[in-house]
Amino acid sequence: MFVKPLSKYNKTTKERYSLYQLCESFRLDGRVRHRVIIGLGKLEGLSIEQKLQLGKRIEEMVQGKMRLPLEQPDEQVERMALHFYKQIVEKRRYDVKKNGADWQIVDIDTVKNKDGREIGAEWLCKQAFDQLDISRFLRQSGWLEEKISLVTTHIISRAVYPASELKTVRFVKENSGVCELTGYDKDKLTKDKLYEISNALYSIKDQLESFLSQKTNDLFDLDDKIILYDLTNTYFEGRMLNSKIAKFGRSKEKRKDAKLVVLAIVINREGFLKYSNIFRGNMADSKTLKILINTINSQTFFSGRKPIVVMDAGIATEDNLKMLRKEGYNYMCVSRSTLKNYQADTSKEPVEIIDKRKQPIELMKVIPINETDKEDNDNDTYLWVKSKAKALKENSMNGLLSQRFEEGIQSINEGIHKKGGTKKLDKVNQRLGRLKEKYHSVHRYYDITITDDGKGTATAISCRHKTGEDPDKKAGIYFLRTTLDEKSEKTLWAIYNVIREIEYTFRVLKTDLDLRPIYHKTDEASMAHLHLGLLAYWLVSTIRYQLKQNDYKYQWNEIVRIMNTQKLVTTSFKNIDNQTIVIRQCTVPERKAKEIYDLLGYKPVPFHRKKSVVVPVEILKNNSS
């Protein structure tokens, strides 16, 4: 409530004077309007400060605060406030609270609920967004408030409802209450504005990524002692004829028909992004590490010793490992080749641990004794690992592949004896070569015999297992390679096992945040699309890290589903005075949603209630006359 002056002119006395009214603002049809509660007269003898106090004091009385505040207004203000308050009550000009309660006599038939919106997941992400202080960074970079509100809306929408810009606009306008959190006018939202803001965010990618990397370390008191590096690719639904980055390559989704782009990321063991880059689709994994090392010092924050680099075997070439040693980095990876001859400390038994699936894993440090197994200047420690679960999987796979290989040999043999089949010796060898290429992991365990008539025609082909060769003996065994020779077996395994974190990151990015496939037609739009997904992942990782600290491990899409049970709704009804009362409020979060809020220390609702009273048109006309 506020006191509003109304200028008047007396034609008889030619005097100009002011009458004062107690007013209340409300929003109707998206516009802010004022309504007059009661006329206050000329308020002669009151200063400007006293008039402001009068409006505030009447509002306190209307809300049920009849007792004087600690800082008492003067007696004249208190007396006049009480006088006008009694008039409001007598004339029923406002739904006055009595004893702290807000009582209304309501026509039940007029109660309506409308404009229901999803708000829970959006409010969760908005608080994570504020926690990361992204708005302050953009503000310091010279961005305008409206632009920052649009950024907030776009990133939160991508985290909650990953879709194209066109679908995002529909979601924001028809389903979500995100604009009521960010303050952006949803009527102004268009797909072109989302494209523009995505490109603007990508233009400051490095600065924003560095800021968020430092922010999360400061926020959660982290030190980048271990970093994980890996790559994935995503494919384009389109020809991308003029693209410089979309190339045909080895697709991890088996989409040989589609062009690819490679996404490289570095995360710390807590799952926060440290660095990202986008490469051409035909870029070899091993060639990207040098680019990473050139920028890693500015993107990670560590004290003293450089971080340990954990990576996949595809990146861990000998040249890359030598480069890491030269740069002073320790590393941990799966050995690209299986050691053929090695020795172990016979005085110690292999260390056995239990994985998360309750399966045993045996660990043992070994030393290569064959110079062909040990590269120049290689003083690395090798950890022999035997996994029962991996062995069962490989045995099952080897059995299936062996069966299919033998069926392939049988098919070639039937072709030799069948009329019109392949009988020429060179053609039979070609079929055998293609079969070996297809089953390269098992054919070496077979002796294959081809008989012919001496005239270039094959008469039969057969195969049998080599004596002494049993692939099942080596199943489940692999070797980890590291420069950390002083660490125990359990510690080495724990360091390597954090690579699961980057696997989860890719799963969230490609599935939950919908980075796969890409439908954009230009390189600029494609890179901005990927970058926006990474920004949304900052919100996800911030929420997920805090939940993990409390042993809460739901997947992100499940968290969104739970939070979407909280809605934002407008309720309207008419009271006994024919006034339309409109209330905009959030539903109380369900038990699981409330649990998530409590674990994060977030507020459960963005606002408890927004209330406005629309009086009949006749009363408005009478007050203005």
Q: SS3 string of 552-571? A: CCCCHHHHHHHHCCCEEEEE
pLDDT over 70 for what percent of the chain? 90
List the beta bridge partners of residue 611.
583
DSSP structure string for 493-504:
HHHHHTHHHHHH
Contact 552, 589 (CB under 8 A): no
Q: Which residue, among 323, 364, 327, 320, has the nearest Cα to 342 in the 3D structure?
A: 364
pLDDT tens string 351-409 = 888 877 788 888 988 888 765 545 554 688 889 888 877 777 777 777 788 889 999 99
Q: What predicted TM-score, i.e. pTM, was given to this entire model?
A: 0.74
Q: Can you give the pLDDT at residue 620?
A: 45
pLDDT tens string 25-36 = 776 666 777 888
> How confident is residue 625, by pLDDT bands cut at 50, 70 and 90?
very low
Max CA pair span of the chain: 134
Q: Can you give the pLDDT at residue 14?
A: 85
623 pLDDT more than 50: no
* Mean per-residue pLDDT of the chain: 86
| Total Cβ atoms within 10 A of residue 312 | 16
Helix, strand or coil for residue 197? Answer: helix
> How confident is residue 561, by pLDDT bands cut at 50, 70 and 90?
very high
Phi, psi dihedral angles at 44 (to 5 degrees): -70, 145
> How confident is residue 302, by pLDDT bands cut at 50, 70 and 90?
low
Q: What is the DSSP letter of 454?
A: S
List the beta bridge partners of residue 112.
572
Phi, psi dihedral angles at 249 (to 5 degrees): -160, -165
d(CA 246, CA 248): 7
Q: Which residue, among 310, 305, 276, 272, has the nearest Cα to 291 in the 3D structure?
A: 276
**Residue 513: both structure tokens together:** 């945040």
pLDDT tens string 148-192 = 999 999 999 999 999 999 999 999 999 999 999 999 999 999 999
pLDDT tens string 215-268 = 999 999 988 888 899 999 999 998 898 899 999 998 888 888 999 999 999 999
**Residue 37 vs residue 622, higher pLDDT:** 37
pLDDT over 90 for what percent of the chain? 44
Contact 200, 161 (CB under 8 A): no
**Residue 239: both structure tokens together:** 């020809």
Nearby residues of 136 by Cβ (< 8 Å), 6 or more positions away? none
